[in-house]
Every structure is written in structure tokens, then in C-alpha cells.
A = this chain, B = another copy of it.
Amino acid sequence: MAMKSAAASAVRAFTSSAPSSVLARGLHASSDTKKIVAVTYTANEYASMNPNFVGCVENALGMREWLESNGHQYIVTSDKEGPDCELEKHIPDLHVLITTPFHPAYVTAERIKKAKNLKLLLTAGVGSDHIDLKAAADAGLTVAEVTGSNVVSVAEDELMRILILVRNFLPGHHQVINGDWNVAAVSHRAYDLEGKTVGTVGAGRIGRLLLQRLKPFNCNLLYHDRIKMDPELENQTGAKFEEDLDEMLSKCDIIVINTPLTEKTKGMFDKERIAKLKKGVLIVNNARGAIMDTQAVADACSSGHIAGYSGDVWYPQPAPKDHPWRYMPNQAMTPHVSGTTIDAQLRYAAGVKDMLDRYFKGEDFPQQNYIVKDGELASQYR
């Protein structure tokens, strides 16, 4: 791809720490070596196709040489489920567990209890809901993620999905590959985005980036969040704050989910709430699958109440072959990929390396990265 060098330079701009390989040398003298386990997705034949493809098992977040030359043990696997999996074998004696939302190792209370040496849970990416955060806090662990590392990636992807749904892209593409040509079958339900009402549930880092990118499309932009944005950003995007979630939702032609998965947001879009949405609403959800009631979404797509649903998040992941979202009409789903572009991988790999380096040296992480610190959850998870 022509973009390789652009991606590499983006990561240099993102991570401001000094080269960790230099800083870490001091540690090499120490005998305090750690067992570090990372769980991510396997790439097989794809692993060697791109030198910047650091996010897969084979390329080990680009840290193998650095960790091993400093005496640490480093295991990377995708085998994360069931009592006999590779991850389970290392639970009793690992010190650091690195996970990723794209191929989530579910870090349950039971696993935490078994992990007697565990001190640090790092998320390569953003979103640590696959970890039982309360159990982690109770056990005195630190949980941190690479805040900001892929927010641009996800926001761009959301705008793509909005357009794919509004323009009714997929039926046209499928005509092409099936040898057909039927303009009407696409155009009878294809629209401009201009002039439509788009609401985001949550206007944190990703939601704000989405609103900024939506600005030139001349939509009516709405957002619901716990707190109002600062007036400058509100002014810049033209988005209107909606204090009442359901009041906002009832106005939306297009709804985008940009809220973390918490006890409060789990199953937030159930049958009753979906029934109150505009008939023909489009929904984009790159946040977390479990924010939706799975069957309620599938039923509303089948009835046409939801005219299109697109996202890359499912529960569980990988999605089983019989997950109803694979088969419902008017879906534009993908596996969990929006936050794991090559650019994002380079940034979150650099962020994980930076935090490990600080951990070895007994230094604090960047404050915004903490999800659980000193037994306390970050505000968005409370």
C-alpha cells in the first residue's frame, strides 16, 4: 500500500515518549524479569504481507526483541477460550496480561483470582469492558489502555458506515458481483446524508471527532452525554446538546452509539426503546455489541423498523456462526476491525510499549490511560 510511510509517521507524532529501547537498558541489569502474556488475533498468511502489521500474534506488537533482550518472558497467543487454552496455562504465573478488544480475552473474576502474580492489565486499544473491572479493582490490579490511540480510526469508520447505510451501498455492490444491474432496487431507498438528523449517544473522544467530520455534511447534529461539551467545540460542530436520551432518539434519522459498555449501558437498546425510535431509523454501533439487545435489533431489522444497522462490535467475539446479526436484512456488519487499522496498531503498540517501559521503571502512566488505579475505576466506568 502507498500508505505505509504515512502510517509510520502518524505513530511518531502520537507517541511523544523517548525511544523506549534506550530507556529500558538500565533494567537489563536488574534480575527483576517478568512474564508477560499478550492475547490478540492470529494472522497466518497475512502476517508477512505488511511490515507495519504489528497487531497480530505473529508480529507480537513489535515488542518481542525488546522484551526478550531485556530478559523478560513474552508469550503471545490467540488461544483464549476454555479450560485448556494457552492463556489458561499462563494465568497462574503471569505478571502482565495484554489484551485487545479486537480478539478479547475475557478476564473474569475467576481468572483474576487464579492469577496470583498478576499486577498489570494493559489493553492494546481502547475499551476494557472484557475485563471484570470490579474484580480487578478489588484485587488491587492496575488496568490501563492506550487512550486516544484509535479514536480517529473509529470515528472515520463510523462516518463510512453512516454513508453505507444512507446510500444503500451494499445491495448495489452485490448486484455487481452477481452479474445484475438494477438501479431502482438501490435508489428507491437511497438518500443524501445532507439535511438528515444525526444523533450520537455519547460525545466523548470518538463522538466529538465524528461530529467534527459530520459538520460539512449540513446535517442536524444532536448529542446526548452526561455532560455538555465546552461551548467552543459545540459551536465548532454546531451540535445541539440533548439532556434527555429518549427525546433525542425520537428525533433521529441516524443514531450512532459512542458510549462505553458499563452496567448502565448494557442492553440499553432493548425492544421497548427500539420501538420508540423513528420507523426507518439507521443505527451505527462501533462501541460495544452488548449495548444492544441482540435479538431486538435483529427483529427490528426484519420488520423494517430499523432500516439499516452497521457496526463492528458483537457479543461475544469472535461472533458465532449462528449470531442473528449475520443474517438479518439491511445489515452492514464487519468483524471488530475499526480500531485496528495499521495506523492504529502502530499507535497502540507504541502506547503499550511505553507503559511497560514505565512499569519496569516504576513510573506512572499518562493519567488518561488508567481504567483502574489504586482500586478505583475511571469515571466513565462508574
- A residues with a Cβ closer than 8 A to B are 1-4, 6-7, 9-10, 41-44, 46-47, 49-50, 53, 55-56, 102-103, 152-153, 156-157, 159-160, 163-164, 166-170, 172-173, 175-177, 179, 181-197, 212-213, 215-217, 252-253, 278-282, 307, 312, 317-319, 321, 325-326, 331-338, 340-345
Contact = CB atoms under 8 A, between A and B. Distances in A.
A370 to B, nearest CB: 25
A172 B253 contact: no
A194 B49 CA distance: 22
B56 A342 contact: no
A296 to B, nearest CB: 18
A343 B170 contact: no
B191 A1 contact: yes
Given A6-B253, A187-B341, A216-B216, 15 more contacts: A1-B280, A2-B280, A43-B184, A44-B184, A47-B184, A56-B187, A156-B163, A170-B173, A172-B337, A179-B326, A181-B317, A187-B345, A190-B337, A190-B340, A192-B341
Nearest to A334: B172
A217 B152 CA distance: 9
A314 B7 CA distance: 33
A338 B167 contact: yes
A381 B344 CA distance: 44
B196 A3 contact: yes
A215 B217 contact: no
Contact of A42 (B184, B190, B192): B184
A164 B338 CA distance: 11
A332 B197 CA distance: 27
Contact of A186 (B176, B325, B337): B337
30 contacts: A2-B253, A6-B191, A6-B195, A6-B196, A6-B253, A7-B191, A44-B184, A53-B184, A56-B184, A102-B183, A152-B194, A156-B163, A156-B166, A156-B192, A156-B194, A157-B167, A160-B160, A160-B167, A164-B164, A164-B169, A170-B173, A172-B335, A173-B334, A182-B335, A183-B340, A186-B334, A187-B340, A187-B341, A191-B342, A192-B343
